[in-house]
Amino acid sequence: MKKIIILLSILVVSFTACTDLEIEPVSQITLANVSEDGNDAEALLIGCYNQLANTLSSRYIDWGDARADNLDQGTAGSASLVNNTLTSSHSACNWSSLYNTINRCNLVINLVPQITNGINENRKNEIIVEAKFIRALCYFYAVRLWGDVPLITEPTLSAEDLKVQRESKTAIYSQIEDDLSEALNNIPGNYNNLLEDKGRVTQGAVLALQTHVYLWIAQQEGGGDTYLSKAESTSKQIFDLNNYKLLPKGEYGLLFSQENTDESIFEIQYDYSKQNTNNLGSLLLQTPFSGSLRAHYKIDQKLLDAFEEGDLRKSDIVYYPEPEQLVRDPFTKKYTGKTKTSEGYSLRDDNMIIYRLGGIILLRAEILNEMDRTDEAISLVNLIRERAGLPNLETGLSKEETKQAILNERFIELAYEGHRWFDLIRNNVALEVLNDIQNEDHLLWPIYETELVKNPNLVQNDFY
């Protein structure tokens, strides 16, 4: 039997919050006898999921919430993000971990087709498109944060492979669309296993990301009615799967304390027993749920003031410390449901929800409202409000009033789930809502300074 021996020396961009970017060779990946053992393909794919979890460990909040209006300065280190004065030296501007994840996906996409035994073609195709989904998600983060970014679809084998120019947003979105279209055609609706149904790529996860991408293109990239129609179609298909249901009234908190609920579509899985943790504790929590008297970020007063009287979600979103707990500021309760990893330590293994039905309901409401189907949009918003114990929206709202109502509902419903910054930009209200944003160019993030030094083909974003 012919054996395939593949030896790749792979340069991986390593990232830590405290040190500069370093490009260093990781131990060589050798796929020996892969023609006999499909487990190699599974192992490579697991590496993609693990690296995605590592990437979002801190950036889930940094990228999705910190520059918006639901977080305020906790420690001194958060000031430049919450005040929108960040510079290219800030570690949150480092995209290397995203590209590390993309590189792992590129490995899977390019190597798995060469495996001939120990795995059937159907599973090979599933593995490949799972990697394409993860790659698409990473590029969706990158293009929304930095605009034009490098487009890399082959494994990076040398430092020279990393010295590429930025590609247009149009090219990036085209790649994202292609990856997701292929994924949808080759991925199952479920795996009949709770952990896999919520923690691995499914049809529901693909449709959710497609909906988000199509709506963004419609609102920000000139896609207009064509992409609104695409977003409407994919969002409807999520409901047609009948795989997800909104948790009932009074159970909103279970989304975070229980995890992988019926409402969840795709969650990043963390498990302390497997040394797979995230930084939610140090970013958002205070004692007794972390080892700090002050979180990196604290809840902005604007969010505290936004709760309507009787909103059942407030007690699940906001934690008010007791006097004996020695902390003053309220902080989010969303990630306090699981046991502390250790006394005085801030690493957590709470899952990070990327997509859930509650969020998709509000995205679909936004889509329908943009399509002048405002009454249908209001009905969807009322589903979320009813679960929160709130009265229905008034009848007869205008399209613009409904748009604001949807945005307000997402502000509360999805607080600290990595959406607010992107919601403000997608709805073209960031400059209006955020007083410290100076102009449209300021909405992009600066390219990390070390990337500019190591890659002379990169050009910094105009504002910076």
User: Span 47-66, mean pLDDT?
Assistant: 96
pLDDT band of 323, cuts 50, 70, 90: low
Residues 395-434 have pLDDT tens digits of 899 999 999 999 999 999 999 999 999 999 999 999 999 9
The three-state secondary structure class of 22 is: strand
pLDDT at 198 over 90: yes
Range scoring the smallest mean pLDDT among 43-47, 155-159, 387-391, 450-454: 155-159
Give pLDDT tens digits for 151-197.
999 998 777 888 899 999 999 999 999 999 999 999 999 999 999 99
Per-residue pLDDT tens over the stretch 279-309: 887 787 776 676 666 778 999 999 999 999 9
398-418 burial, b at 16+ Cβ within 10 Å, e below that, comes to: eeeebbebbbebbbbbbbbbb
CA distance linking residue 175 with residue 153, whole number of Å: 9
pLDDT value, residue 340: 54
CA 378 to chain centroid: 26
- pLDDT bin (cut points 50, 70, 90) of residue 1 is very low
Q: Which domains does the chain have, with CATH numbers?
A: 1-187+450-464 (1.25.40.390), 270-350 (no CATH)
Tell me the HSE value of 182 on the side-chain side, using a 13 A CA sphere.
Answer: 18
- Of 17-31, 149-163, 202-216, 279-293, the poorest mean pLDDT is in 17-31
H or E element that contains 123: helix 121-146
Whether 249 contacts 389, CB under 8 Å: yes
pLDDT in tens, 332-350: 889 886 655 554 456 778 8
CA 412 to chain centre: 18
Does pLDDT of 31 surpass 50? no
- The whole-number pLDDT of residue 439 equals 97
pLDDT in tens, 62-95: 999 999 999 999 888 899 999 999 999 999 999 9
| Residue 376 reports pLDDT greater than 50 | yes
pLDDT at 279: 82
pTM of full prediction above 0.85: yes
pLDDT reported for residue 325: 59
Cα–Cα distance measured from residue 146 to residue 141, given in angstroms and rounded to the nearest whole number? 9
Mean of pLDDT over the chain: 89
Residue 339 confidence (pLDDT): 53
Look at residue 268 and tell me whether its pLDDT is greater than 70. yes
CA-nearest of 129, 135, 53, 60 to 99 is 135
